[in-house]
Structure formats: structure tokens, C-alpha cells
């Protein structure tokens, strides 16, 4: 199976704290990989390294065969890498729809000269994005609150908006940082279904999640991380069943 994202020999330390210790990891097309591990294992740091939020000390990161290590965050996004954030990072002064409208790899107004000299072109592009945004909102069950400000919607809906905004990228690789934390009921089932659907459409997905049930329901495979190291990779059942890993997870 084709590897969409391939990380090799990735290292990063902050002073004495090692957040990535020679990580080798590949994400395959259409598969959902779960990152499991206790707090401080380096799961979110792994996302930050892949996205360019944090620069690695050494190592290589390739997206569909192209080296992206060293590129600015925005370039990686424009090559088809999208993510959500543990603390959401939604645009609080925008509506749900406007949050999504900023998400396509090419934005209507990226070029200010177009805004001033080719207003027709910009208007067409805006219309296209709006249609796509509504399609994504339908898919994520958010169409009814498209015009609501972020602060007026529930936490579960905010989580979904985070995922929906990342979907606007039409990404080849999607990183989801704790998509289920604090979510219950309808939104839970919906996020689960959406993530499965996206994977089925051929996107490589990586999920950081503390909810073991969710990881088991959702992921094709799991990776156990501890102290910046990948300790084991396998089906979620085998990882959970491993007494050594369980001990590391819950501490002694």
C-alpha cells in the first residue's frame, strides 16, 4: 500500500526532554492510525513536527514522496496536509461557514492583486468555496448552524467544525488531535462516521486520542508511544492486551 506520509529518523529534544526519539512512521492511503500513549509521550509533538510548528533536530518527513521538512507551515498545507488542534484554534470572530471558507488549499483572496483587479475571478472562487463548504457542512451535520458564531455553538459542534475546516483542504493526509475528547452522544457518532468516510475516500489519517474505545472503534492500527519513542505498532487489541504497555500507560 502507498505511503502518503513517511517519517524517518525524526529527532527533537527541548533541553533534557526528548519529544521525538528516532521516530520512523508511515501513514498509508485510506488507513486510520491511532497514536496511543500517556501524557508527555510526544504524540502532539509528533503532529507539530510533521506540520512544521516545531522544527526537528534531524530526520526526514516526506508527503507523497516529497520532502517537506524545512518548508513553512503554509506550504505543507498547500501540498495536502491538514490537521485539527487539541485546543481547537477556531476563528472565534468568524461564523462556522467563514471558518470553513478559509480552508481550501487555494483561497479566493490569497492574491491581493486579484481582489483589486480581478473581482469577478475572486467572486467565482468565493462561490465555489461556499458550495464546497456547504457540502462539508452537510456531511458533518453542521449545515443548520452555518451562520452561527463559534462561541454560540456547543463544544461537540466546535470539535466538528475543527474537523470540517480541515476537510476543506481536500488533504491527502489528515492529522486529528484528540477529536473525541469531551464529546459525547450524537457528535461522537458523527465524528466517528465522518473519519471512517474520509479514510474510505483514500485519505491517510492519524489520530491522537485518549479514549481507548474510540481508538478501537476507529483505527485500523495503533502505535504506542512513550518518551518520544515508538515502542510498538499493531492492532489496537494487541496493544491494549500487552501488559507492559498498559503498565507504561497507567504508570506504576
Partner 1 sequence: MDYVYTILILIGLFVILASSFDLVIGHCGLISIAHPIFYAIGAYVSAMLAKEGGMPIPLAMLAGGAAAFAASVLVALPSLRVSGDYLLIASIGFQLGLIEFAKHIHSIGGAGGLTNIPPFLVNTYGRVSYVLLVLAIALLTVLFVRWLTRGPYGRMMAAMRDDELAFSMLGRNAIWVKVSIFAIGSGIAGIAGGLYAHYFRFLEPDQFGLLQSSAILTMVVVGGMRTTLGPVIGAIVLQILPQAITFFGLPPSILGPLQGLMFSGLVLVFMFARPQGLLAAPDIWAGRDSKERRDG
Asked if 89 interacts with partner 1 (CB under 8 A), we say: yes
State yes or no: residue 149 binds partner 1 (CB under 8 A). Answer: yes
**Could you tell me the smallest distance in angstroms from the CB atom of residue 92 to partner 1?**
5
- Number of neighbours of residue 235 by Cβ within 10 angstroms: 13
The residues near 101 (Cβ < 8 Å, ≥ 6 apart) are 126, 129, 130, 133, 168
Q: Who's near 58: CB < 8 A, 6+ residues apart?
A: 9, 10, 11
44 touching partner 1, by CB under 8 A: no
Q: By three-state DSSP, how is residue 139 classified? A: helix
Tell whether residue 132 is a contact of partner 1 (CB under 8 A): no
C-alpha 126: how far from chain center: 25
Which residues ranging from 90 to 109 are in contact with partner 1 (CB under 8 A)?
Answer: 90-95, 97-99, 101-109
Based on DSSP, count helices (H) and strands (E) in the chain, helices before strands: 10, 10
Rounded to whole angstroms, how far apart are CA atoms 68 and 61? 6
Quick check: 85 binds partner 1 (CB under 8 A)?
yes
Stretch that binds partner 1, among 31-39, 81-89, 186-194, 223-231 (CB under 8 A): 81-89
How near is the Cβ of 165 to partner 1 at its closest, in Å? 7
Residues that bind partner 1 (CB under 8 A): 51, 53, 72-74, 77-78, 82-83, 85, 89-95, 97-99, 101-110, 112, 115, 122, 126, 130, 147, 149, 165, 168-169
Amino acid at each position: 500500500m502507498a505511503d502518503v506520509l513517511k517519517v524517518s529518523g525524526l529527532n527533537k529534544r527541548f533541553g533534557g526532554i526528548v519529544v521525538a526519539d528516532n521516530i520512523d512512521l508511515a501513514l498509508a492511503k485510506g488507513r486510520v492510525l491511532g497514536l496511543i500513549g500517556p501524557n508527555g509521550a510526544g504524540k502532539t509533538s509528533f503532529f507539530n513536527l510533521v506540520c512544521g510548528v516545531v522544527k526537528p533536530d534531524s530526520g526526514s518527513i516526506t508527503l507523497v514522496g516529497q520532502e517537506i521538512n524545512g518548508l513553512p507551515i503554509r506550504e505543507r498545507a498547500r501540498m495536502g496536509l491538514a490537521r485539527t488542534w487539541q485546543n481547537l484554534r477556531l476563528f472565534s470572530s468568524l461564523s462556522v461557514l467563514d471558518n470553513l471558507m478559509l480552508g481550501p488549499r487555494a483561497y479566493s483572496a490569497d492574491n491581493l492583486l486579484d481582489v483589486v483587479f480581478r473581482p469577478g475571478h475572486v467572486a467565482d472562487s468565493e462561490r465555489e468555496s461556499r458550495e464546497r463548504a456547504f457540502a462539508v457542512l452537510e456531511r458533518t451535520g453542521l449545515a443548520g448552524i452555518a451562520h452561527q458564531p463559534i462561541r454560540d455553538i456547543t463544544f461537540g459542534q466546535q470539535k466538528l467544525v475543527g474537523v470540517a475546516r480541515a476537510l476543506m483542504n481536500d488533504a491527502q493526509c489528515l492529522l486529528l488531535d484528540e477529536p473525541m475528547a469531551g464529546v459525547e452522544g450524537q457528535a461522537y457518532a458523527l465524528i466517528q462516521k465522518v473519519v471512517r468516510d474520509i479514510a474510505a475516500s483514500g485519505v491517510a489519517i492519524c489520530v491522537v486520542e485518549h479514549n481507548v474505545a474510540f481508538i478501537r472503534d476507529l483505527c485500523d492500527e495503533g502505535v504506542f508511544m512513550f518518551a518520544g519513542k515508538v515502542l510498538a505498532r499493531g492492532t489496537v487489541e494487541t496493544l491494549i492486551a500487552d501488559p507492559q504497555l498498559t503498565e507504561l500507560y497507567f504508570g506504576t
